[in-house]
Amino acid sequence: MENIKIDQLGYRPSDPKKAIIPQEVTEFDVVSVSDNKVVFKANASESVFCEASKETVRIADFSAVTTLGEYRIETSNGSSFNFPINDKPYGSLRKSLLDFFHYQKCGVDLDAGVWSHPACHTSPAFVIDANGKKTGEKKDVSGGWHDAGDYGRYIVPAAQTVAQLLLAYELSPNPDNEVLDVTWFEIEWMLKMQDDSTGGVYHKVSCKGFNPLNEMPEKENGELLLCPVSATATADFAAAMAMASRFYPEKKDKLLDAAIRAWNWCVKNPDVPGFKNPPGIETGEYGDHDSSDERFWAACELFAVTGDDEYHNYIKTREISIGLGWSKMGTYGIIAYLLHAGNKADVNLTQKMKDTLFSAAEKIFEKCKTDHYGISLGTYYRWGSNMDVGNNAMTLLLVDHISNGHFPKNENYREAALEHVHYLLGKNALNQCYVSGFGSKPMRNPHHRPSVAVGKAVPGMVSGGPNGHTRGDVILHKTCEGLPPMKCFVDHIESCASNEIAIYWNSSVYFVLSYLGF
């Protein structure tokens, strides 16, 4: 019985290594798989109660095992899956997380093995107004990535994804060369989503509702509808395009021009209310009534690139906020300012931004100390909790970068971030590796239309993960009602609230692996 939880993909020799074992036993062995010999024997920790999984466990520290090889943990009443210790334990995982974006391409003939398909969603989209009525205008907005398990394309999550991929490229010790090409596919589409006359950016494009779960994308051929311009989409767009202008020198003018036109729209429209799906539209909403963090991010990116006072003055009068997930984007602004404002940076503002970011990281770090799986969600597991796991790890790593590894206190943020990765790869209450195609118990049945249509999961996709708010998801509710939050997950195609996949969940984990050099 595999009742001992470890990272199913394994460990690097010098990394800390902790398994979670049931409370009934104290002694554990590390056994070498090739000859069944015990190579390490020790006592696990005192038993501890884990609030998120409502179970009592012990922590088995086997960091002392550093010899390359294949192992498993054993106790008198069970064992773990086999796992390796070597210099590249994750193999092609990181590459596969990036390759995933290829499978999400819209508007092109896709050559992707059994998931290949003809070009989808190529017809021009009808612009609609806030009442859901067609305005008479049509626009070509083909291209970009399908957001997730559905075929909608939405600007807000696209901006998060682009930012995380570009930051992974910028801050990794060994960046993947393909990142810029991969990301350009989305940027090109985003540029088409801008309204030429006003500079505002349409919030999203999709059909009016979701199509059946077993349908390949080219089969979805209802009318495409372009939802109204929103403040969050426009500000996110301004930020992402200004940021991108630093990475694509030959496209700099075009990107910066688009960013400035979007910014000017934001200036002219300070009080536009947040986006809501117009009547009759049922696809992903990405509703967010507060565009202040998106505007802040945009101003920081524009200042980083242009050094213009207009943006600096704006930033100086705004609240500094934190966030890396689509509804709260402040941290991207902070990072742009801290890394790229150069000698134009204001000393006080720099300090304020550092304080805000560092205290957010400290809170995350404190939470890890009280969680026996070593992660930072406490008991709050919501839709896309695995993105929160990735984003919290990313926050720790951004502070690691900004502070050059010298923290205010002697805390190891890299190690804490790595525990988040171990959690995603199997060291969790369900013994579940949350990435398709990887681990001894991979996620196999994603709520992802092409995977459902073909009957086989596209590899390298990060599942949304446990969601303690099960209502509305019939299969999740039936399976997990009453269970503690860390266990509210079902590897079932129908569970969109726990087992969908999304571009911005992959980009989050991709950043973490890239930064850590895997």
Q: Residue 243: which H helix or E strand, with range?
A: helix 231-245
Nearest approach, Cβ of residue 143 and ligand G3I (Å): 18
- Write out the binding residues for ligand 9MR, residues 462-491 only, by CB under 6 A: none
> What, of ligand G3I, Zn ion, ligand 9MR, none, does residue 213 touch, CB below 5 to 8 Å by kind?
ligand 9MR
Q: Does 496 bind ligand 9MR (CB under 6 A)?
A: yes
* Active site annotation includes 309: no
> What, of ligand 9MR, ligand G3I, Zn ion, none, does residue 89 touch, CB below 5 to 8 Å by kind?
none
Residue with nearest beta carbon to ligand 9MR? 150
Site string for ligand G3I, 272-291 (x = CB under 6 A): ------------xx------
Q: Which of 195, 312, 491, 492 is catalytic?
A: 491
Contacts of 379 (CB under 8 A, 6+ apart): 51, 52, 468, 484, 485
- In order of 9, 20, 310, 333, 430, the CA distances from 29 in angstroms are 19, 13, 63, 47, 22
85/106 with CB nearer Zn ion: 106
Nearest approach, Cβ of residue 283 and ligand 9MR (Å): 8
Which candidate, 427, 397, 403, places its Cα nearest to that of 354? Answer: 403
Site string for ligand G3I, 123-152 (x = CB under 6 A): ------------------------xx-x-x
279: helix, strand or coil? coil
Residue with nearest beta carbon to ligand G3I? 284
Q: Which of 147, 150, 220, 473 is catalytic?
A: 150
How many residues at the interface with ligand G3I, by CB under 6 A?
Answer: 13
User: What's the CA angle centered on 365, arms 96 and 434, to 5 degrees?
Assistant: 30
Q: SS3 string of 409-441? A: CCCCHHHHHHHHHHHHCCCCCCCCEEEECCCCC
Q: Does 388 bind ligand G3I (CB under 6 A)?
A: no
Q: Residue 211: which H helix or E strand, with range?
A: none
How many residues at the interface with ligand 9MR, by CB under 6 A?
Answer: 9
Question: 404: left (phi > 0), else alpha (psi -120 to 50), else beta?
Answer: left
201: helix, strand or coil? strand
Where on the chain is the footprint of Zn ion (CB under 5 A)? 106, 120-121, 217
Nearest approach, Cβ of residue 288 and ligand G3I (Å): 9
* Active site annotation includes 447: yes
Question: 485: left (phi > 0), else alpha (psi -120 to 50), else beta?
Answer: alpha
- Cα separation, 372 vs 13, whole angstroms: 22
Nearest approach, Cβ of residue 108 and ligand 9MR (Å): 21
147/293 with CB nearer ligand G3I: 147
Tokens of 498: 């726990």
Contact with ligand 9MR (CB under 6 A) among 180, 213, 349, 483: 213
* Active site annotation includes 312: no
252/382 with CB nearer ligand 9MR: 382
Dihedral sign computed on CA atoms, order 251, 252, 254, 258? positive
Nearest approach, Cβ of residue 283 and ligand G3I (Å): 6
- Choose the binding region for ligand G3I from 43-51, 295-303, 402-410, 494-502 (rule: CB under 6 A): 494-502
- The answer to whether 447 touches 501, Cβ cutoff 8 Å, is yes
Instruction: Starting at the earlier edge strand, list the strands of the sheet with 134-139.
Output: 134-139, 125-128, 225-226, 204-206, 153-154
* Active site annotation includes 308: no
Query: Residue holding tokens 């809170």?
Result: 363
Nearest approach, Cβ of residue 498 and ligand G3I (Å): 10
Site string for ligand 9MR, 125-154 (x = CB under 6 A): -----------------------xxx----
> What, of ligand 9MR, ligand G3I, Zn ion, none, does residue 384 touch, CB below 5 to 8 Å by kind?
ligand G3I
110: helix, strand or coil? strand
Q: Does 29 bind ligand 9MR (CB under 6 A)?
A: no
Determine the straight-line distance between the first and last CA of the chain, rounded to whole angstroms. Answer: 30
Contacts of 381 (CB under 8 A, 6+ apart): 52, 465, 466, 467, 468, 485, 486, 488
- Cα separation, 7 vs 16, whole angstroms: 12
120/162 with CB nearer Zn ion: 120
- The answer to whether 341 touches 350, Cβ cutoff 8 Å, is yes
103/169 with CB nearer Zn ion: 103
Query: How many CB atoms neighbour CB 393 within 10 A?
Result: 31
> What, of ligand G3I, ligand 9MR, Zn ion, none, does residue 217 touch, CB below 5 to 8 Å by kind?
Zn ion
> What, of Zn ion, ligand 9MR, ligand G3I, none, does residue 383 touch, CB below 5 to 8 Å by kind?
ligand G3I
Nearest approach, Cβ of residue 67 and ligand 9MR (Å): 45
Tokens of 397: 């790593």
- Write out the binding residues for ligand G3I, residues 365-384 only, by CB under 6 A: 382-384
- Write out the binding residues for ligand G3I, residues 455-484 only, by CB under 6 A: 469
> What, of ligand 9MR, ligand G3I, Zn ion, none, does residue 210 touch, CB below 5 to 8 Å by kind?
ligand 9MR
Q: Among all residues, which ones are annotated catalytic?
A: 150, 447, 491, 500
For binding to ligand G3I (CB under 6 A), which residues are involved?
147-148, 150, 152, 284-285, 382-384, 469, 496, 500, 502
For binding to ligand 9MR (CB under 6 A), which residues are involved?
148-150, 210, 213, 284, 494, 496, 500
